[in-house]
Amino acid sequence: MAGVEEIRAGIALANEKASASIAALQQAAQSLEEAQLSLSQATQGSTQHEVSQAHGLLAEALQGITGMQSTIQAGISSAESYSTRL
């Protein structure tokens, strides 16, 4: 079995990688927001179903990213809590 310091180091590495994924998701969210803006500008005034659907799907994707970020942050917090108790 790994020693306490090895476990803490492993948790720290996992949390570092998880934090990097949050940053990558933030970048993806920014790109989606830009896509939403571009789509909105390009389709302004359109009442076509596909346009509304595209807007809704982009908004749903953005919401999903936000949820993933929260879930990852909760995982990091749980791992840090365990590491602290070691």
Tokens of 63: 């919401």
pTM for the full predicted model = 0.86
Question: What pLDDT tens digit does each residue of the chain (86 aa) get?
Answer: 789 999 999 999 999 999 999 999 999 999 999 999 999 999 999 999 999 999 999 999 999 999 999 999 999 999 999 999 99
* Residue extents of the structural domains in the chain: 47-86
SS3 assignment for 6-75:
HHHHHHHHHHHHHHHHHHHHHHHHHHHHHHHHHHHHHCCCCCCHHHHHHHHHHHHHHHHHHHHHHHHHHH
